[in-house]
Structure 1
Amino acid sequence: MADTESMVQDDTGDEHLCQPCSRKDIKSTANSFCSACKEFQCYDCSNGHKIYAFMSDHKIVSVSEGQIHVSSTDCEDVDVTRYVCTKHNKLFEFYCQQDDAFLCSKCAITSHRKCEVIVDIENMDGRSGCEKLKNELVEAIHSTYQVTELLNETETRLSDDIRALSDKLKNMKARLIKIFDDFTDAILTHASVYSNTTQDDLKKKKVKCETKIKSMKKTIRTLDSIMNTGTPAEQFITERTMLDDVHLAVKDATSLNNELSSIDINCKFNEQLKTFKSDLLSELCSETLDISFHVSNPSKFELVRSIELKQSADDVKEPFYTGIDFLTDGRLVAVDKQNGKCLIYDENLNVKNSYKLPRNFPQCVAVVSDDEVAVTSANKYRLDFLNVCETNDMSLSRTYQMNAKYYSISMMNDVNFVVSTIDHIQPFRNVSMSGDENDFDIDTPSKKYAVGNNYCAYIRGRNKVVQSATAEDKIYIYDIESGENIVIKDKLIKSPCDVAVGPSDHVFVVCKDTKCLVELAHGGHVLSFHQLDMNYPRSIAVSKDKKLLAVSNSCVCRKKLSLYKIA
């Protein structure tokens, strides 16, 4: 408020000094309050509202009403005029429920005497309503913030895709150049072979011509010698005996001349050209040059069914599901760590069968195929594979001894898993279906995690691993190809546990302390959250068609298993 420090009261608490006069070191008693200027004013200063046009719409109230304004609305963001009757310049004191109108004391007497329900505002509880409005605005701000984050993500991805487009064109150019270079090499090789063959043929013909010339020159020398030194008889005999040979030589020369006077060399590369055009067209047709991505909306969840997990007759302890996953047909597989067994639920969360594992302390489960699941162990270095039939029968098919202890498990591809570690320098590793163990070629914090403090999942569509570090209140997302990573911290992410990949490759995280399901977008920001009706949610699974989500918890005596439909 403007200059409220200069306001002075007397012993009765009724007298106020004019604030404009006080700034001029003049003490004069205020007789009014301007709700627009937010000042107590004397008669002379208040008259300025009648003189200056820009002050004509200011509301002038009494000093007592001004004191209420100052004490109850000492905030720059509050418009005090909303509490004043514009007709009578008096504070609102009543509320007419019939007309949904606020009334000053004069309005109540003059205009609403016949109204049946008029209540004193002072007796009304407005705080709870304001609190509700505030919460609605907070939620709206959060939603708008999420939209802003989506826009930021879209802007970033657009820039990245533009840069990627340049690389894509360069790669395309390199591939086209390689096709042309391969075509050039093929043509030149073919031409070289044709040239060598043709050259050999030309050389043979040339030798044939030279041999004929040499033979005819020899005959000419014989004729010259006989003509110069021979007797007429010798000349006549020579002429008669060589007549046929000369005529044959001339005939052969004429024939050879006719044969070689027009040499046609025709080397065609039509087949190679067709292949080149086909390869070029195939390369161009297989390539797409577009920038297209979809920014998904936050997911919505509809509860299908929720059940309480009770100890059965053959259980030695209260059940505790540390791992769950969906079979391809929609059935749910759960691992009960406390009782060392696997269970199968149908789509209505009815138990169809259970299987006692040969060793205790199974941890998490991943569905491998239509009829097989893999189960990790916390206190044994092993990975168990179970066969699961359509009739819900289960049996142990094989076991691999591991070099490290593994907790959560997620399918990476058809032949590999991504597993989180227990007391190992690498937070997650790559394990094959045949039991081979390898580290990823990326930098991760050299920190060991205890049981139940390290979860991971693989995002197939983006070749990324998401890690949930419970004790750190952090989520890590690692890019396997580039090695880059992002770290996510948020007030909603407290004691994060299991993670799963949902629609549009969004990441779902269950958080124990906030009792909620948090959805993370590709950029790592919180896209949405859903409050869960259970304490200490711990395990999560998403169906293969991304339409169902299951959650279980670790609360003592109140363990639950809930099934949601993802909208």
Structure 2
Amino acid sequence: MADCGSNIREDDEVPGRVEETLCQMRVKEIMCQPCLSKDKKNVADKFCSTCNEFQCYDCSDVHNVLAVFKSHKLLNANVAHLIRCDQHQKVIDLFCEAEKKLCCSTCAIVDHSKCHSVVEVEKLAGKMTSPSSSLEEILQEAKENAENIARDIISSKDQLVQDVEEIQAIIREMRDEVVKMFEELEVSIVKRAKTLQKEKLGDLEKKQSQNERHFANVTAYLEAIHSIYKSGTPTQKFIAEQKIEKDANVICRDVNEECQNFQTMTISFDFDEQLNLPPESISDFVPGQLTLKYHELENVNGVNKVKILTQVSSFDLKKTDDDIEEPFITGLDFLPDGRLVAVDNNNMKLIVYDEKLEVLGSYQLSYGPLAVVSVSEDEVAITSGDKYMIDLLRVGKANEISSRRKYRVTTKYDSICLKDNSQFVVGTFDYQIPVEIISLAGEPDALSINFPNKAYQADTSVCTYIQNINKLVLTDIYKHTIYIYDIKTNTRVVVKDDHIQTPCGVAVGPSDTILVCSYGTDSIVQISQTGQILSSHKIDMKYPYRVCVSLDKAFLVVTNSCSGNPKMQKFKMSF
């Protein structure tokens, strides 16, 4: 480095000093210098680099009137600081190559006098073959990221309000369910208590009636004895005692027995010890806690963000002579050699297409297929909605198709994809676990994920698997939601966005991103691994339903679910 690098100047950074940026200077009002000399204050519109002055519209207009000024170069005042020295307010016309600094003539004398490589900017600029767009790209990227942050801040603020409202709604729903439960409990317990009450009241009434008879008999005998003892003869007394003694003994025995066996009756209802009711705190016996979840904006540099979808092929799916109904493609995938396989649920067929989406061959199935996945160079696996099985078929190089084997399973499977070389990941329906693992030999296995206890109905959820990062993607059509599960950490990201309405088909895209068919917006949406919306592309197709991506991640194929206008389209992705 040149010697001038050791100079310490007043303008060097020191603690407490704040350097003005161009953005900050632009905010300030720049006054017209000729007007200021006349004690007038007018905002400058232009800067003349020859005059080295900021000028208002009226003052700068002389450059358009007088010929002597027409060679002067005018700039907008708000960008003039780009060509002026911040320290000396002179036009920058020199560049110190040693320190890589722009400087004016004063800077060159004061700060760079010892430098031997101060060059005129005009000479350096003349050597530039073409203006570089990298700076513009950097600024454009910064602008896009700032816009994303602004949008995410607004979204987060709205989400926080919505979250609290949802929590309140959940608590109220819990309260209503608890109230309903206790109302049902009250009806049940009171009914049983009244039945028990009726039974025991009957027993008590019998005892009461019997006791009243004993009481009446004892009272009558006592009155008789009292009367005889008071006015009867000894003979009468003897006879009365003999007669009463036998009955009295029986009465005393019965009364004593009843007295010994009598128990007072009460009815009560007690909760189990596990349920602590107030005055204990409600939080002591109701499980659950508030959690604050953070989602950091990810750095998407290096991610292949789909900027343009270029349609390379499109055709209407027409009913052929051997078709029973209008075609309905419910599953599709690319073979390694670039051919496309698709399953037609309505007509129970597997169809093979070439790169131009022209039919190469088809195979009649005995069931309504739901999804298909390429297993190897010449093998595909198909799921069925009405049969508990996975069907493996061979698709030869000459497009001949034959059945290889079928695996019987115990669950209905909709979507299917490969987890690795030995396992499938399958989406279930009418089953309490939404996703399962099945080996290529047909043996089931469970994912170590805490799924919500929810059974999806047919055609309300599909899944795919990102092999490189071990993440599972699951759609929920009616909640307009994408779930991204991390298998290693057993955590998930919930993706909700206005771009995603009724998410149907889903596939792994470039850079392990996620491509989703947004059925409700006629779009293909690209999502990052962590749930950030990267791009959204409106396509010329109503209700996109299923999507697949080629192995080189250069093309995608989309089909729709539109009665009367079914289509299949192929797009090239540009990044």
Give the TM-score taking structure 2 as reference length. Answer: 0.49
Task: Tell me the equivalent position of 2:224.
Answer: none
Q: For residues 427 and 495 of structure 2, what CA distance do their matches in structure 1 show?
A: 18
Report the AA paired with residue 332 of structure 1. L
Q: Does residue 387 of the first structure (1) align with residue 394 of the second (2)? A: yes
Q: For residues 348 and 417 of structure 2, what CA distance do their matches in structure 1 show?
A: 20
Which residue of the other structure, out of 346, 354, 359, is the alignment partner of 2:362?
354
Q: Deviation digits for residues 345-367 of structure 1, max 9, x if unmatched?
A: 000110011111122x1100000
Q: For residues 480 and 54 of structure 1, what CA distance do their matches in structure 2 show?
A: 73
Task: Tell me the equivalent position of 2:353.
Answer: 345
| Larger Cα-atom Rg | 1
Q: Does residue 459 of the first structure (1) align with residue 491 of the second (2)? A: no
Q: For residues 462 and 441 of structure 2, what CA distance do their matches in structure 1 show?
A: 22
8 Å Cα contact 1:150/1:295 also seen in 2:
no
Task: Tell me the equivalent position of 1:488.
Answer: 495
Q: Deviation digits for residues 241-260 of structure 1, max 9, x if unmatched?
A: xxxxxxxxxxxxxxxxxxxx
Q: Does residue 311 of the first structure (1) align with residue 319 of the second (2)? A: yes
**In the superposition, relative to structure 1, how do residues 142 and 421 fare at CA in structure 2: closer, same or farther (>3 Å)?**
farther
Task: Tell me the equivalent position of 2:419.
Answer: 412
Task: Tell me the equivalent position of 2:523.
Answer: 516
8 Å Cα contact 1:364/1:377 also seen in 2:
yes
**In the superposition, relative to structure 1, how do residues 309 and 351 fare at CA in structure 2: closer, same or farther (>3 Å)?**
same
Following superposition, the deviation at residue 494 of structure 1 comes to: 0.4
Q: For residues 150 and 331 of structure 1, what CA distance do their matches in structure 2 show?
A: 40
8 Å Cα contact 1:516/1:532 also seen in 2:
yes
Task: Tell me the equivalent position of 1:441.
Answer: 448
Report the AA paired with residue 399 of structure 1. K
8 Å Cα contact 1:426/1:439 also seen in 2:
no
Following superposition, the deviation at residue 484 of structure 1 comes to: 0.8
Q: For residues 406 and 366 of structure 1, what CA distance do their matches in structure 2 show?
A: 13
Q: For residues 352 and 458 of structure 2, what CA distance do their matches in structure 1 show?
A: 24
Q: Deviation digits for residues 500-527 of structure 1, max 9, x if unmatched?
A: 0011101100110011000011221100
Q: Does residue 399 of the first structure (1) align with residue 406 of the second (2)? A: yes
Q: For residues 506 and 43 of structure 2, what CA distance do their matches in structure 1 show?
A: 59
Following superposition, the deviation at residue 566 of structure 1 comes to: 2.0
1:416-565 to structure 2, matched below 5 A, reads 416-565=423-572
8 Å Cα contact 1:332/1:347 also seen in 2:
yes
**In the superposition, relative to structure 1, how do residues 357 and 142 fare at CA in structure 2: closer, same or farther (>3 Å)?**
farther
**In the superposition, relative to structure 1, how do residues 396 and 142 fare at CA in structure 2: closer, same or farther (>3 Å)?**
farther
Following superposition, the deviation at residue 86 of structure 1 comes to: 6.9
Task: Give 3-state SS (helix, strand or coil) of 1:504's partner.
Answer: helix
8 Å Cα contact 1:378/1:422 also seen in 2:
no
1:236-385 to structure 2, matched below 5 A, reads 295-299=302-306, 300-359=308-367, 361-385=368-392
Q: For residues 469 and 513 of structure 1, what CA distance do their matches in structure 2 show?
A: 13
Following superposition, the deviation at residue 55 of structure 1 comes to: 8.2
Following superposition, the deviation at residue 428 of structure 1 comes to: 0.8
Report the AA paired with residue 350 of structure 1. E
Unaligned runs of 5+ in 2: 1-34, 45-55, 59-139, 154-298
8 Å Cα contact 1:378/1:405 also seen in 2:
yes
8 Å Cα contact 2:484/2:529 also seen in 1:
no
Unaligned runs of 5+ in 1: 1-49, 60-84, 88-138, 153-291
Q: For residues 527 and 149 of structure 1, what CA distance do their matches in structure 2 show?
A: 15
Q: Deviation digits for residues 15-56 of structure 1, max 9, x if unmatched?
A: xxxxxxxxxxxxxxxxxxxxxxxxxxxxxxxxxxx99x9984
8 Å Cα contact 1:146/1:526 also seen in 2:
no
**In the superposition, relative to structure 1, how do residues 341 and 54 fare at CA in structure 2: closer, same or farther (>3 Å)?**
farther
8 Å Cα contact 2:503/2:517 also seen in 1:
yes
Q: For residues 414 and 39 of structure 2, what CA distance do their matches in structure 1 show?
A: 73
Q: For residues 462 and 346 of structure 2, what CA distance do their matches in structure 1 show?
A: 19
Q: Does residue 566 of the first structure (1) align with residue 573 of the second (2)? A: yes
Task: Tell me the equivalent position of 1:101.
Answer: none
Following superposition, the deviation at residue 297 of structure 1 comes to: 4.0
Following superposition, the deviation at residue 295 of structure 1 comes to: 2.9
Deviation larger for 139-148 or 485-494: 139-148
Q: For residues 403 and 462 of structure 1, what CA distance do their matches in structure 2 show?
A: 29
Following superposition, the deviation at residue 532 of structure 1 comes to: 1.1
Q: For residues 371 and 419 of structure 1, what CA distance do their matches in structure 2 show?
A: 21
Task: Give 3-state SS (helix, strand or coil) of 1:461's partner.
Answer: helix
**In the superposition, relative to structure 1, how do residues 293 and 57 fare at CA in structure 2: closer, same or farther (>3 Å)?**
closer
The runs of at least 4 consecutive aligned structure 1 residues that moved more than 6 Å come to 139-142, 149-152
**In the superposition, relative to structure 1, how do residues 306 and 146 fare at CA in structure 2: closer, same or farther (>3 Å)?**
farther
Report the AA paired with residue 319 of structure 2. Q
Aligned residues: 303
Report the AA paired with residue 407 of structure 2. Y
Task: Give 3-state SS (helix, strand or coil) of 2:462's partner.
Answer: strand
1:164-243 to structure 2, matched below 5 A, reads none
**In the superposition, relative to structure 1, how do residues 148 and 421 fare at CA in structure 2: closer, same or farther (>3 Å)?**
same
**In the superposition, relative to structure 1, how do residues 323 and 403 fare at CA in structure 2: closer, same or farther (>3 Å)?**
same
Q: For residues 302 and 151 of structure 2, what CA distance do their matches in structure 1 show?
A: 7
Q: For residues 520 and 308 of structure 1, what CA distance do their matches in structure 2 show?
A: 28
Q: For residues 293 and 145 of structure 1, what CA distance do their matches in structure 2 show?
A: 13
Give the TM-score taking structure 1 as reference length. Answer: 0.50
**In the superposition, relative to structure 1, how do residues 367 and 323 fare at CA in structure 2: closer, same or farther (>3 Å)?**
same
Task: Tell me the equivalent position of 2:25.
Answer: none
The RMSD of aligned alpha carbons is: 3.1
Task: Tell me the equivalent position of 1:223.
Answer: none
Q: For residues 569 and 541 of structure 2, what CA distance do their matches in structure 1 show?
A: 9
Report the AA paired with residue 532 of structure 1. I
Q: Deviation digits for residues 239-289 of structure 1, max 9, x if unmatched?
A: xxxxxxxxxxxxxxxxxxxxxxxxxxxxxxxxxxxxxxxxxxxxxxxxxxx
Q: Percent identity?
A: 39
Q: Does residue 57 of the first structure (1) align with residue 42 of the second (2)? A: yes
8 Å Cα contact 1:476/1:487 also seen in 2:
yes
Q: For residues 342 and 499 of structure 1, what CA distance do their matches in structure 2 show?
A: 20
8 Å Cα contact 1:149/1:525 also seen in 2:
no
8 Å Cα contact 2:520/2:543 also seen in 1:
yes
Q: For residues 504 and 146 of structure 1, what CA distance do their matches in structure 2 show?
A: 23
Task: Give 3-state SS (helix, strand or coil) of 1:454's partner.
Answer: coil
